[in-house]
Structure 1
């Protein structure tokens, strides 16, 4: 084999190796939750909640702020990584129409960087225990049910696949989650009173629709002040990009009710915090654009580039073989009997 053929064969081998490395090493490295993830998701809607100032002044008629416009920001940031595990901060802030902060929650989770499921907390880091998905979906979502962690009730619930739907030109899988149970988020609980005067609860009850009001006789029989516990019901819907697993849109309906212990168990008194929010149109459009860019980049690294390198390697190897075969066929025979003279 000629020296040039050796060089070309080596180049073909390099291209073949580059194709394999791109698909088997580079693609998995980029197809995971980036270590510099720092995203903010914007939502808007309305909330009804206890009016702390009115309660302090005894203004029972205004003890509840009803249907207040709110804006919600969810800030998700990777704060540490350990191989295929990421520790992620998850902070949610609810603000009123004038920008005043109404409530905030903060959590820290340890998740797998590819399927976003729960993972053991890396040494030296701190994160809350949980089971299932909590900040997002697997990077390659499927039409199936998943386990989801609801931080408000600190419980695992099914994320049920519901349908396929278009969002800003992107195909999404839609999942529905429902949770109910005692309020378990300490950041929410600390902003709710441990007890309220009986007349305050009666005043709040008067503002409710008739079918939601507690029995007046049962209310009058309660101690004064009334010791309270809280329970929550949560309804979530998530629109997940089918190519990247990115959350393009989401909605939340949350109701927190005050309860007290009765002779036969907890007695529901009144809702003290309700909220209904969904993604803002601008945020949805931005996330759809980002998902389209990410999908193109993943297709380039995971499919097109390895394929191009593989094709080049095969073509170059084929050229070397063709060149060698052609060279051997065109070479003069070395030694042997001379060809016979033609007969005269």
Structure 2
């Protein structure tokens, strides 16, 4: 084998190695939550809320604000990474007309950078304990149910696969989550009164539509100081990009209700908040664009580049083989035959 063939064969081997490195090292390293990932998704909708100003003024006829236009901005940002673990901040702000802040929440999660499930929290990180998914779906979602963490109850509930739909030109898997139970979120509980005067409770109940009021007997039995507990019920739906796992759209309907303990069990009294929102079109479009770009990059690194390098390696090997065969044929043609050698000798 001459020098050119050696060079071509060596180059082909290097290309095969580069293909393997790209597919099994570079691709997995990039196919995970980036260390600088940050996104904000906006929801729009309406809410029914307690009217703090009316309550302070004692005007129970206006105790509830119904159908208030609201926006909910959820910002996800990676703060640190430790190998496969990402420390992620999860901030949500609910705003009413004029941008007035109605409520806010902040969490820190320790997540696996590929499947987004829980990971052991680094010491001093402040990450909250949880199980299952909490901010989004795995980077390679499947047509199956998952476990999803509900921050209101601090429990996991099934995220049920409901089918496939198209969102802004992208194929999306649809998952639905229903959760309910006693409100356990510490920050929310701190903002709610543990007890109210009987007169205040009766005033709030009277401001409700008649069909939503508790039975009169339960109201008559209320003590002068009414101890309160709270329940939360949430309906979520997520549209997840089938190729990249990015959330393309979502909806959220969350209701918090105050209750007390009666002689025959818990007595629901009045709603504290009822928020019903869905993804704003601008956010949905931006997420679809990001998913398209991400899918193209992943295809380039995971499929096109490795295959291209392998094809080029095969072409170089074929060229080296062709050159060797051509050299052999040329040598055979140039070498004199036995008859020619004998004739020359005579």
Please tell me the TM-score bracket, short chain as reference: over 0.9
Q: Secondary structure of the equivalent of 1:328?
A: helix
In the other structure, the counterpart of 1:117 is 117
Structure 1 contact 104–187 (Cα < 8 Å) conserved: no
Three-state SS of the structure 1 residue aligned to 2:98 is: coil
Residue of structure 1 equivalent to 2:162 = 162
Quote the residue 1:205 is aligned against.
205
Q: Are the counterparts in 1 of residues 218 and 262 from structure 2 also a CA contact under 8 Å?
A: no
SS of the aligned residue for 1:240 comes to: strand
Q: Given that residues 60 and 207 in structure 2 are in contact (C-alpha distance below 8 angstroms), is that contact kept between their aligned partners in structure 1?
A: no
Indicate conservation of the 8 Å contact 2:149/2:155, yes or no: yes
* Cα pair 1:103 1:188 within 8 Å, conserved: no
Indicate conservation of the 8 Å contact 1:104/1:188, yes or no: no
Per-residue deviation, 1:334 = 6.7
Gaps of 5+ in 2: none
CA contact (8 A) 2:134 2:150 kept: yes
The aligned counterpart of 1:260 is 260
Count residues with an aligned counterpart: 342
Tell me, in whole angstroms, the C-alpha distance in 2 between the residues paired with 1:304 and 1:285.
27
2:241 is equivalent to residue 241 of structure 1: yes
Moved over 3 A (4+): 332-342
Counterpart Cα distance in 1 of 2:230 and 2:282: 35
Moved more, 274-283 or 179-188: 179-188
Q: Which residue does the alignment assign to 1:172?
A: 172
* 1:338 shift after superposition: 5.2
Alpha-carbon distance, 1:210 to partner: 2.5
Whole-angstrom CA distance in 2 between matches of 1:201 and 1:46: 24
1:70-149 correspondence to structure 2 within 5 Å: 70-149=70-149
Asked if structure 2 preserves the Cα contact closer than 8 Å seen for 1:114 and 1:139, the reply is yes
Pair 1:18 & 2:18 matched: yes
| Offset from partner CA, 1:83-142 (integer Å, 9 cap, x none) | 111111101100111111100011111111111111111344231111111011011111
Alignment check: 8 A CA contact 2:44 2:71 kept: yes
| 8 Å CA contact 2:174, 2:238 repeated in 1 | yes
TM-score by length of 1: 0.95
In structure 2, the residue matched to 1:38 is 38
Stretch moving more, 63-72 or 153-162: 63-72
Q: CA RMSD in A?
A: 1.7
* Distance in structure 2 (CA, Å) of the matches to 1:60 and 1:303: 64
Shift of 1:273: 0.8
Query: Distance between the aligned counterparts of 1:42 and 1:206, measured in 2?
Result: 35
Cα contact 1:91–1:105 (8 A) shared by 2: yes
In structure 1, the residue matched to 2:290 is 290
SS in 2 for 1:309: helix
Gaps of 5+ in 1: none
Q: CA–CA distance in 1 between the matches of 2:193 and 2:59? A: 16
Distance in 2 (CA, whole Å) between partners of 1:207 and 1:133 is 39
CA distance in 1, matches of 2:247, 2:188: 24
For 2:216, the equivalent position in structure 1 comes to 216
The alpha-carbon deviation at position 329 of structure 1 amounts to 2.2
Partner of 2:312: 312
Deviation of the 1:264 alpha carbon: 3.2
Q: Deviations over 1:309-337 (max 9, x none)?
A: 11000110111111112212211577995
Secondary structure at 1:98 match in 2: helix
- Indicate how the Cα distance of structure 1 residues 262 and 78 shifts in structure 2: closer, same or farther if over 3 A, else same: same
**SS of residue paired to 1:255:** strand
Mean Cα deviation higher: 208-217 or 10-19: 208-217
Cα deviation for residue 281 of structure 1 reads 0.7
Shift of 1:341: 4.2
Aligned position for 1:322: 322
Check whether the contact 2:218–2:267 (CA below 8 A) recurs between aligned residues: no
